[in-house]
Structures are given as structure tokens and as C-alpha cells.
Amino acid sequence: MKHTIIRIALVLVLSCSAVSHLQAAQNSPVELSADTIEYDSVKGIMTAQGNVRLVQDSAVMTGTNAEYNSKTKEAYVTGGVRVVKDDTTLRAQEVRSYDNIHMVATGDPILTKGDSQLTGTILDYYSDKQYAIIKDGAKLTMTDSVMTANQIESFFNEDRAVAQGKVHIVSSARQLDAVADQAVYYGGQGQQGKTVLTGNARAVQEGNVLTGTIMTLYLDNKAIDVQGRSKLVITPQ
């Protein structure tokens, strides 16, 4: 009960001072609640500990500890961080937020949007552009396939993903295993799960091996097109 009283009292104080400043700065107030909060009105820094909850518009960020700068609009949240907005959820051990639209997540970050899940070492997510990029150990898990690469960019609004370096695509449902230097995945309506592989492209499907310069996979109907010099090795059934 003691923590609840402290939290309510501090939120009321912030509503009169810090939140009004934030609303003037970005037309959308930021509400911070926690077991304990310290506020430096000169520097504009709020430090919160225990059951942290940071809310702006429909986005909710929770964690164990947090620091928010009302002047720079930068937040740093640690300890089992979870960010939820609409159909997007970001989980990580640490999240830094810049200008309330750009988040950098570290510590086993997992970004889930709809049926897609993006993981890696460090995840950059821009909520205003619905764009995410992982530059190390990237993995994109879709409904019935998994793509890994050195780097993956995901354009959620376009249902498109761009992978660079040691690209590997596996689909158990389609008995498909493919590799390439680069890949672009198109998952929009009518695209048939189109994936364009370039650079040392190689695909194995149902025991058959196909290699080529540029290879286009149509994952929904198990079709493959190849451009440039190619080679097909068929395994008798």
C-alpha cells in the first residue's frame, strides 16, 4: 500500500509539472508511474524504480527501472522491458528510446508484429516508419519459414524484408532449404511469398538442387524461377 500511495502522489506532481512540459513539446503527454520517482525540474530528468510504466498515446513501455529526459525526449528502460503498441510488441532487457519514435533494443530483443518475429543482437526500430533493422545475427520468423542473415531490414508497412550476408531460408512445410548472398522477401497480397535470391543462390527442395545467379522463389506454390547460368540436379523419387 505504501508504494501505491507514493506512486499516485508522484504521478500527480508530474502531471502538474513535467507532463505539461512534454505535452507542449510534442502535443502528446508522457505519463510515467513507478514505485518511486525522482524528478529534477532543472534538467528535466525523471528517474523511476520498480514497476515502471511509461505511456504515450497508445504505446505502453514497462520495465524495472527507467530514466526519462523531458527536454531531449530520450528514455532508457531496463529489466525485462516490454513495449506494446497496436499489433507490435518489443521485448528486451534494455531499450533506449529517442524522440519517442526510435528505439534501440539490446539483450535478446524480440520484435513481434502480426505473424512475423524479428530477433538479433541489437535491434533498431522506427515506429513512425514501421521499419526495423538488425545488423548482427538477424533472424526473421514467418508463418511457415525462417530467414537468417548477417543483417535484415524489415519494412512492415510493405510486408517486405531485405537480407544481406549469408542468407539462409528454411521452410519445413515446403521442404525447402535455400542460401544466397542477398535476398528480398515480398509477402504482400498477390506476391505468393516471392523471395528473390542473388549471389551464389542455391535451393534444395524435395531433394532436388537448383543453383543460379538470380533465383526467385514463390513460396506459396513451390515454384522457382532462375535467371543467368543455372544448374538443376534432380533426385529420383
Where do runs of H (alpha helix) occur along the chain? 2-16, 18-26
Does residue 65 register a pLDDT over 50?
Answer: yes
The whole-number pLDDT of residue 223 equals: 73
Distance CA 39, CA 16 (A): 12
Confidence of residue 24 (pLDDT cuts 50, 70, 90): very low
Whole-model pTM over 0.85: no
The whole-number pLDDT of residue 237 equals: 54
3-state SS assignment for residue 17: coil
What is the tens place of the pLDDT at every residue in 29-44?
Answer: 888 999 999 999 899 9
The sign of the torsion formed by the CA atoms of 157, 149, 115, 186 equals: positive
| Domain residue spans of the chain | 1-108, 145-237
Q: What is the DSSP string of 177-195?
A: EEEEEEEEEE-STTSTTEE
DSSP classification of residue 58 = T
Fold classification of 1-108 (topology level) = lipopolysaccharide transport protein A fold (2.60.450)
